[in-house]
Amino acid sequence: MTMIGEYRGSSGSVGVSGIMINPNSWSNTVSFFSLITQSEIARFKISPDTYISTVSPSRTCFDQDDNIWIANRGINTVVKIGIYNHRTDMEQNTSSSATDVKAWGSDSRVLREYHLSHDGLTESRIPGAIYQGAPLSNSQSTSNSSVQWYISSIPAGPVTATNTHDHMITLYCFGHGIRYNIAVGATVDITAGCNIGGGNTFELGSLGYDTTASITINYFAASTGNVYSGTVMGLRGMACDKDGNIWVGSYYNKNGVAQMVAWKIDRVTDVITQFVPAINGQAYGALYNPVSDRVFFTPTTDVNTAFIECNPNTNVFTARGTSNGYAYGLTIDSLGNMYRPRPSYSNVYKYNSSGGYVGSVAIGHGGHSCCVARLNNNGVYTEYLYIINAGTRNITCVRCNDLVIMQNTLLPSTYSAYHGISADPYNENIIWAEPYASSANTVCRIVVNPLNGNIVGTPTFIACGTTGHYCYSDFTGYYSIFSEDI
């Protein structure tokens, strides 16, 4: 779950306001929930329907260009969705309602798909495009005795022809009997004239043989396999650095070694760079810390490391802190302090912006997800940490500055599990929890007391999305609350 409030984008314009992002993890969609109207306002496909049962969207974050990013842990993809100016036109992706979802590859707001497998299929593409394999070419120059030539196999298109001579060339494709006139230096798509998947004969000249010509045919090798196949890396932690680059970590290891794989998606070029840090530990949570200008991943294996830190300016990875056990959730306060609960133990640990240990508190239950809320009590702001246990429904409120427990209670038994929690940047004194179950198509609205952070009244449920929202502690959207303080 990622919350988005008012923040300043890179262009200086006011960004989007009041949106909660909910990955529908037992389907292939993501829901946008308005914190202003407190209702679902849009839903987007994030994979072909063929993979509806395996896509498993899990992690989300947003960037400075008003884009939402969703990591699909089951098929090794990350999807970018544009939400610019959605106060007025968010509903453009539907014809009647938020649940009327456009087909994969046909929604103009679903901007890009990134395949992040480590086995040779890493690429950036337009949603719905087919991976073609490696680019190939065949160059031919004619002579008096050779104006025809044969390419034994063109496995995949598209196929183009480039005139590399000094006059117009007429190219005849025997595959489907189509003739193309190609100007000097021009490139023409000749796919329709070719026999894709088989051999092809070409001829230069129409009224007479062109005995002084040169041309290059460009095509693609056969695909190396289904682009959604390959070793499932379990994409988990995801964060956006100050330059708008997206960092993604993997949960599953590479080649049997307990090491995560990380990828950097460049904001400007869409180039994907892969890293395999020489540090044990598989990524689960992630956030960008603006105070230290570092990306932090929480390793899930019980290694002697609290964080895998990445310097986004040098692409150098470093182990930080002692383990204190593995962690799922991770969150940050306005001073850059980070909080890391443990799923199987009762302690929650606090670290400074560089990953140095500050202190801990025993809350009496394991913690999977956490968030920091900055509550306004008549002009006096206090920050509180909220931690939930996905299996027991426990929710605990801790004051951030001194790690004092303010309240330990249970979320409603309507659902047996809650997998995400985040503070509302638009409505003060409200936090949201994400139920996770086969029947959970709601979000849980929780009102808290700004005087002490405690829950007030009974939490309520509002319809949103489909099935469970498996997101744990995706609080990478720190801008949503703290942009004016950092």
298 or 135: which leads in pLDDT = 298
Q: How far apart, in whole angstroms, are the C-alpha atoms of residue 25 and residue 28?
A: 7
Place of tokens 């379990």: 234
Give tens-digit pLDDT for 394-412.
999 999 999 999 999 999 9
- Look at residue 477 in the predicted model and tell me its pLDDT: 35
On the CB side of 91, how many CA atoms lie within 13 Å of its CA? Answer: 11
Q: What is the CATH number of the domain that holds 156?
A: 2.60.120
Q: Is pLDDT above 50 for 87?
A: no
- Mean of the per-residue pLDDT values for the chain? 81
State the burial class of residue 14 (Cβ atoms within 10 Å of its Cβ: 0-12, 13-18, 19+): exposed
Neighbours of 274 (CB within 10 A): 13
Residues 6+ apart with CB under 8 A from 171: 161, 179, 180, 181, 182, 188, 190, 202, 203, 204, 215
Do 306 and 334 lie in a common domain? yes
Q: Which region among 144-158, 225-239, 255-269 has the lowest average model confidence (pLDDT)?
A: 225-239
Q: What is the mean pLDDT of residues 269-277?
A: 87
Last residue of a domain, which of 171, 195, 220?
Answer: 220
Last residue of a domain, which of 220, 251, 272?
Answer: 220
Residues 6+ apart with CB under 8 A from 200: 150, 151, 154, 173, 174, 175, 194
Do 327 and 196 lie in a common domain? no
Do 435 and 327 lie in a common domain? yes
- Look at residue 208 in the predicted model and tell me its pLDDT: 60
Q: Is pLDDT above 90 for 14?
A: no
Q: Sorting pLDDT into bands at 50, 70 and 90, what band is 444?
A: very high
Q: How far apart, in whole angstroms, are the C-alpha atoms of residue 217 and residue 140?
A: 8
- Look at residue 254 in the predicted model and tell me its pLDDT: 63
Total structural domains within the chain: 2
Do 272 and 285 lie in a common domain? yes
Beta strands in 292-412 (DSSP E): 294-299, 307-311, 316-320, 331-332, 338-341, 347-351, 357-362, 369-377, 380-388, 394-399, 404-410
Task: Assign residue 378 a region (left: φ > 0; alpha: ψ between -120 and 50; beta: otherwise).
Answer: left
Q: Is pLDDT above 60 for 92?
A: no
**Cβ-contact 39, 10 below 8 angstroms:** no
Strand 418-423 versus strand 430-435 pairing type: antiparallel
Place of tokens 């947003």: 62
Domain extent at residue 432: 2-130+227-482
Q: Sorting pLDDT into bands at 50, 70 and 90, what band is 120?
A: low
- Look at residue 257 in the predicted model and tell me its pLDDT: 66
Do 122 and 147 lie in a common domain? no
- DSSP H or E segment with residue 81: strand 77-82
Q: How far is CA 378 from CA 266, 335, 456, in A?
A: 43, 21, 17
Do 204 and 125 lie in a common domain? no
> If you average pLDDT over each of 19-23, 270-274, 347-351, which comes out highest?
347-351
447 or 434: which leads in pLDDT = 447
Q: How far apart, in whole angstroms, are the C-alpha atoms of residue 178 and residue 176?
A: 6
Distance of CA 303 to the CA centre of its chain: 26
What would the DSSP string read from start to end of 407-460? EEEE--TTSS-EEEEEE-SSSTTEEEEEE-STT--EEEEEEB-TTT--B-S--E
**Cβ-contact 116, 235 below 8 angstroms:** yes
Q: Sorting pLDDT into bands at 50, 70 and 90, what band is 264?
A: very high
Do 346 and 435 lie in a common domain? yes
Last residue of a domain, which of 220, 255, 285?
Answer: 220
Do 442 and 328 lie in a common domain? yes
Q: What are phi and psi of 275, to 5 degrees?
A: -130, 145
Do 61 and 118 lie in a common domain? yes
Neighbours of 317 (CB within 10 A): 19
Give tens-digit pLDDT for 314-333.
999 999 987 667 787 889 99
Do 193 and 240 lie in a common domain? no
Q: Sorting pLDDT into bands at 50, 70 and 90, what band is 420?
A: confident
- Look at residue 266 in the predicted model and tell me its pLDDT: 93
Q: Which two tokens stand for residue 393?
A: 């429904």
Q: What is the mean pLDDT of residues 371-393?
A: 90
Q: Is pLDDT above 60 for 226?
A: no
Q: Sorting pLDDT into bands at 50, 70 and 90, what band is 156?
A: confident
Q: What is the CATH number of the domain that holds 80?
A: 2.130.10.10
Share of the chain above pLDDT 70, in %: 81
Q: Is pLDDT above 80 for 293?
A: yes
Q: What angle do CA 209, 154, 104 make, to 5 degrees?
A: 130
- DSSP H or E segment with residue 88: helix 86-89
Q: How far apart, in whole angstroms, are the C-alpha atoms of residue 83 and residue 19?
A: 10
Give tens-digit pLDDT for 158-203.
899 999 888 888 899 999 999 999 999 999 999 999 998 899 999 8
Do 353 and 401 lie in a common domain? yes
Do 359 and 244 lie in a common domain? yes
